[in-house]
Amino acid sequence: MLEKVTVVILGRRLLTDTSPVCSNFPKFFHYMPSLLELDICGTLLEYFIKGGLPESPPTALNNIKSLNISSMSLRSVKVVSSAVYLIRSCPKLQDLTLEFYQVWVGDIVEPVVQLLRAQSSSSGAVKLQRVQVNMFTGLEMEMEFMKFILASAPVLEEIFI
Report the distance separating Cα 151 and Cα 58, nearest Å.
24
- pTM, to two decimals: 0.83
Q: Which residue has the higher pLDDT, 90 or 3?
A: 90
pLDDT tens for 36-76 read 999 998 888 888 888 888 888 888 889 999 999 998 888 88
Sign of CA pseudo-dihedral 80, 93, 136, 28: negative
Domain ranges, ordered by start, for the chain: 4-160
* SS3 state at 98: strand
Q: Is 115 helix (H, G, I), strand (E, B) or coil?
A: helix
CATH class of 4-160: alpha beta
- Distance from chain centroid for Cα 137: 19
Q: Give the pLDDT score at 134.
A: 93
Report the pLDDT value the prediction gives residue 14, as an integer from 0 to 100. Answer: 47
Write the pLDDT tens digit of every residue in 99-126.
988 766 555 567 777 777 777 656 666 7
**Which pLDDT score, from 0 to 100, does residue 122 have?**
60
